[in-house]
Chains A and B, each alone.
Chain A
Amino acid sequence: MSAVLDRTGTLARAWEVASSVVDPELPMLTLRDLGVLRDISQDEDGTVVAAITPTYSGCPAMATMRDDLVRELQEAGFADARVRVVLSPPWTSDWISPEGRGALATAGISPPGAAPRASGPVALQLLPTRRPVRCPRCGAEEVQLTSEFGSTACKAMYQCRSCLEPFDHVKEI
């Protein structure tokens, strides 16, 4: 087996292991589904390096993600595995996978729509953000934004006007 093939096999296996690690705050999603796991590579001496990016600058879960990734990779035999942070390009909710969106909805969290495209200065929005959000429990379209800021930095709070249940919506950024 050539070194190149061996290397590819290692990376594929490491990617598989890293892909199974779940987000500490949204445990129905893997870090891959969330778009936080960006890359798996090997440095010159063969050490496996996982690259992750924060959803928000102040994301308090980064350390836990890092620990979980390192632990899982170590248990799978990648003894020296480490994690590096990538800051660019910034995380966007568009990176949440279709499987991730399905898992969010099943867990009662409304998945994000398409993120706004950045072009020129950000315009001031004095009216509440209009999003095509449906209640993840009863499917009703009559929902009300209660706050742009929710239980974690990446979510807004809504209430369904039909079944009256409050629910989280992952913000489009």
Chain B
Amino acid sequence: MADIHTHESDVHDSTYAGLLVNDAHWAFGTDFEDPLAGVDTTVPDGVDPAALAAYCLMLGDDALVLSQRLAEWCSRAPDLEEDIALANMSLDLLGQARLLLARAAAADPDMVPELPDGSPVPPEDRLAFFRDDRHFRNVRLAEVPNGDFAEAVVKVLLFSSWRLALLERLAASRDAVLAAVAAKGVKELAYHRDFAGRWFLTLARGTEESRRRLIAALDGLWPLWPELFESHAVEQVVAEAGIGVDPAEVAAEVEVVLEQVFAASQIDRPTRGALAGVQGLKGRDGRHTEALSRMLAEMQVVARAHPRGQW
């Protein structure tokens, strides 16, 4: 009987063994070193570290969850250019998420899920892969399952218009890390918003079918729009402390941007009302739609199966 299950050292083993000498790291994360290495993560005076961390988690989860949705588009977009564009935007958001989750973990280490001793998983990946849906603090717009391309365009337009306005103000945060992440994110989100705005216009002025799909997508997502401008208690606390932004403050300027897009596209502002929460609780409170737990199940399954996996 052939000994196909035995595994004896041979020339191939020694080749790969060389790669593992000093360089083994957790197999499933975004990277294997602290993304804030050397960055001063001292919490500013007069700021509650737990509130700062909770706020970073909100902004980080928004980016992480939409990043995952956009990544699901990979190889499925209408053409190669749009496929690459969606993947690029996903990557930008993943980078923002990583820094924000790392900042959250540095400000309040108690919020990081515990793993077995010796686990090589870095704090930001513990937050991404080892929390359940009710511990995620993203707005529900970010978690909506993907529809057609028009739906992706509308979702990115709504999300990036809102987030760009938040980060423009956040660049003046008293927290140096948040200010730096925001200043960088502004440049990225400006591209995302322009991409989505141009496609919105193109689909609105394209064929009868493209316009019909665009309007259907806008109508479908609109009930999740008001949630983006509701002030959560955490957001009010960090805004008062000069380290965060109250989203209610950016509502007017974001509406102006949307009106520009609607006017150029000759699309009426939808009239559907807001999607209610569960007993008043919404995404920022950890109450999500069913779609988030399904998305996380797929996103987290391999990491959870191998919390000590190294390569």
Contact = CB atoms under 8 A, between A and B. Distances in A.
A149 B84 contact: yes
B224 interface: no
Interface in A118-137: 118, 121-122, 124-129
B204 to A, nearest CB: 11
A146 B187 contact: no
Interface in B71-99: 81-82, 84-85, 87-89, 91-96, 98-99
* Majority-rule SS of A interface residues: loop
Interface in A89-138: 89-91, 118, 121-122, 124-129
A85 B39 contact: yes
A87 interface: yes
* Majority-rule SS of B interface residues: helix
Nearest to B257: A124
A76 to B, nearest CB: 18
Counting chain B residues whose Cβ lies within 8 A of the other chain, the interface size class is 35 or more
Contacts of A59: 95
B225 interface: no
Given A63-B31, A85-B35, A149-B85, A124 B193 contact: yes
Given A85-B39, A121-B165, A126-B261, A153 B183 contact: no
Nearest to B200: A126
Contacts of B219: none
Contacts of B186: 118, 122
Interface residues of A, number: 39
B276 interface: no
Given A62-B31, A124-B261, A126-B261, A87 B184 contact: yes
A52 to B, nearest CB: 10
A95 B269 CA distance: 42
Contact of B88 (A49, A83, A87, A153): A153
B198 interface: yes
Contact of A148 (B33, B85, B180): B85
A31 B79 CA distance: 33
B81 A149 contact: yes
Given A85-B36, A122-B186, A149-B84, A58 B93 contact: yes
A143 to B, nearest CB: 15
B108 interface: no
A27 interface: no
Contacts of B164: 122
B252 to A, nearest CB: 12
Contacts of B183: 88-90
A60 B91 contact: yes
Given A88-B179, A90-B180, A126-B261, A58 B81 contact: no
A84 B38 contact: yes
B257 A58 contact: no
Interface string B25-36: 000001111011
A157 B165 CA distance: 27
13 contacts: A54-B184, A56-B188, A57-B92, A58-B93, A59-B95, A84-B39, A85-B36, A87-B180, A90-B180, A121-B253, A122-B168, A125-B197, A127-B198
Interface of A: 49, 51, 54, 56-60, 62-63, 66, 83-91, 118, 121-122, 124-129, 146-151, 153, 157, 171, 173
Given A86-B39, A90-B187, A126-B197, 10 more contacts: A56-B91, A57-B99, A85-B36, A87-B177, A87-B180, A90-B180, A122-B168, A122-B193, A147-B84, A153-B92
